[in-house]
Structure 1
Amino acid sequence: MTGRIATAAVDIAATPQRVWTALTDPDEIEKYMFGSRVETDWKPGSPIVWKGEYEGRRYEDKGEVIEVQPDRRLVVTHFSPLSGQPDEPDNYHTLTYELQGSGSSTHVELRQDNNGSAEEAEHSAANWQMMLGGLKQHLEAE
């Protein structure tokens, strides 16, 4: 991981397998990730696209699947044209999801690297914390 790191974490009353499904199923992702529709086959090296609307603006973010360890770890890159930065490798973030299970609960930690400033890292961390809160609410409402 490079640059300033944004982190978010949550404990969810669900097994790692159930959390993993929610992290990788496009129909479920749409329910807790601000209406974002994800397109990918979840194979390392494959593209990943997030489409939706955020704060009244349509977006199509993109990246690449880097690492997939079912029920444990997911790593993808992420670029958003809404950032105003050019679509260049130096402007991509790496998102790392780590799952640690304990009985019927799971601790999920998300890290996003390559934030350009402390303020950008704080803003990203707040957004990811909100998303993880939505994931928790989605899974615990079942």
Structure 2
Amino acid sequence: MNADVSVAQASIEVAAPRDKVWRALTEPALIRQYFLGTNVQTTWKPGDPITYSGEYNGKAYEDKGTILEVEPKVLLKTTHYSPTTGLPDVPGNYHTVEYRLADDGDHTKVTIVQGNNKSTEEVEQSAATWRLVLQNLKEFLESDTSHAP
């Protein structure tokens, strides 16, 4: 499969410094507030596991993966597998998910790239989900509430 066909990507500009965005991407209490109620557990050390759990459409879920790469305030790369896909828990059914941060003037550009999608439809669905998550992240970080880091 052509790599371009299997990759979903979404980006957004956030009016927040990179360290604030990084904290929102890596602190479980903050992640839960914008990432559809997801509970994340990990050490953020390469090679260590990561789990994502919560409830979606009234059903409990627990997804998992491995931390692949961490470059603070620049790059976070993981694998991700969800049993809800109905696919077997084998390496070929894991996505790669990269969170990339870059300065853009006084804003931070956040890009999420999800690889190893199985179809054009999955690419489109994944990109739409990541756009929603990024919009939630932007609203969370740009809000004036005391909940933002």
**Where do 1:6-17 residues align within 5 Å?**
6-17=8-19
Amino acid at match of 1:124: S
- 1:62 is paired with a residue whose SS is strand
**RMSD in angstroms over aligned alpha carbons?**
1.3
Counterpart in 2 of 1:90?
Answer: 92
CA distance in 2, matches of 1:27, 1:104: 25
**Contact 1:15-1:103 at 8 Å conserved across structures:** no
Q: Equivalents in 2 of 1:88, 1:58: separation in Å?
A: 21
Q: Give the TM-score normalised by structure 2.
A: 0.92
| CA displacement at 1:54 relative to structure 2 | 1.3
Hey, what does 1:68 align to over in structure 2?
A: 70
- Which of residues 98, 117, 136 in structure 2 aligns to 1:115? 117
Partner of residue 23, structure 1? 25
Structure 2, unaligned stretches of length 5 or more? 145-149
* Counterpart among 80, 83, 92 of residue 82 in structure 2: 80
Aligned partner letter, 1:18: K
Matched, 1:43 2:30: no
Structure 1 unaligned segments of length 5 or more: list them: none
For 1:19 and 1:135, the matched residues in 2 are separated by 8
Q: With structure 1 as the length reference, what TM-score do the two structures score?
A: 0.96
Aligned equivalents of 1:71, 1:100: Cα separation in 2:
8
CA distance in 2, matches of 1:8, 1:114: 15
- Per the alignment, residue 135 of structure 2 pairs with 133
| Residues 9-43 of structure 1: CA deviation (Å, up to 9, x unaligned) | 10000011100000000000000110000000100
The alignment partner of 1:120 has SS state of: helix
Identity percentage of aligned residues: 47
Give distance in 1, aligned partners of 2:136 and 2:58. Answer: 19
* Inter-partner Cα distance in structure 1 for 2:23 and 2:103: 14
Aligned residues: 142
Offset of 1:102 from its aligned partner?
3.0
The 2-side partners of 1:55 and 1:92 are apart by 22
Deviation, structure 1 residue 55: 1.9
Q: 1:58 aligns with which of 46, 57, 60?
A: 60
